Structure 1
């Protein structure tokens, strides 16, 4: 990984000093250690533990290179996980500059979180473009997911094009995702092949971003009935994302 890639991984500006880089690495290490200690199952524990070791290896490489002299470019370092984000409760939010007309629209569908060891939770989808990611897009309604460290800043675009029947064009590429496809991929209905081109999905389909899975429901039914239906249904299998 080059210095530019390392700074992007750490979400730091190009002007960052070596001290700032090391401080951020310490923060990331603490974050992954916390995830490891609190992982709800063995799979996630192993996953977070592996990422903890990767951060430690980067720190060792930087320390060794620093002892030899100039600032390293770290061309030989490889880190294939997406930059984690602070572990706050996931929320639904919109960018500060979203048009008031969009904010006042009625939801035409729901994403219902249906992930092992997490409570069911609903997120609104509006007609037109909707993003899923860690950061709110300044002009498009965004479902912000903060608890999953494998969700990219802008991860997936959901474009609702029809409501009866419900049709959503889902994409995860550089064109739809404001310049870059997600690091860890988007998966539909448990298919282990990550989404590489636009696909139409609809009612009862399942979309996985990072390690989080959502079931798609129309807004025509009562929200409490939708939650109960999803909670009582079986989980879609989780695709093991390739981090290495």
Structure 2
């Protein structure tokens, strides 16, 4: 059936002998032939669909775009609760110019697990590098003051006070470190307190690593904060 249909198409489109393709008469004959072929194609294949294929693709594309726009709405809402992320998910430093200036205090802690050999050496102050706890305490203060240089989106704030306590705990053979940072300003000092105890703990490791590589820095965490819009918070509550 398809072969017969192709032959009929070829016969209708074949120009008449002696006729010119670009003449008005042949143009009329060609239009008539095309119209007849269209009728025959409709009788064989049925009428064409109401919308074209291009229109179908366009409507599918519009539907996909609409779906994407709809999905973006909850995504933007989730980003809005994270202050260091913009509406499009990009990292940003928070604008604190409109915040109220208050006294801010944060306390953080961590623990350095030494093991029996290192614990005894530190307790007797016999480590080759010298006074482990004293050097680590100074390192923690220096670390707090460098927080904005270490963590990209932290603000460079003026610290009014940084204090660290390092205590040897014979029950689990560890050094317990607690650090406090304070400032009067428009943003909190949690990161400064956390950086202080972390740097102090890493310094303990550096001072003792020649005696043991099995030292573990653990339990770095915020214990307490006060000041600012969110008010006071404590881990013990």
Using the size of structure 1 for normalisation, the TM-score is 0.26
Q: Which has the higher contact order (CA 8 A, sep 6+)?
A: 2
Name the structure with the higher helix share. Answer: 2
Using the size of structure 2 for normalisation, the TM-score is 0.26
| Structure ID, larger Rg | 2
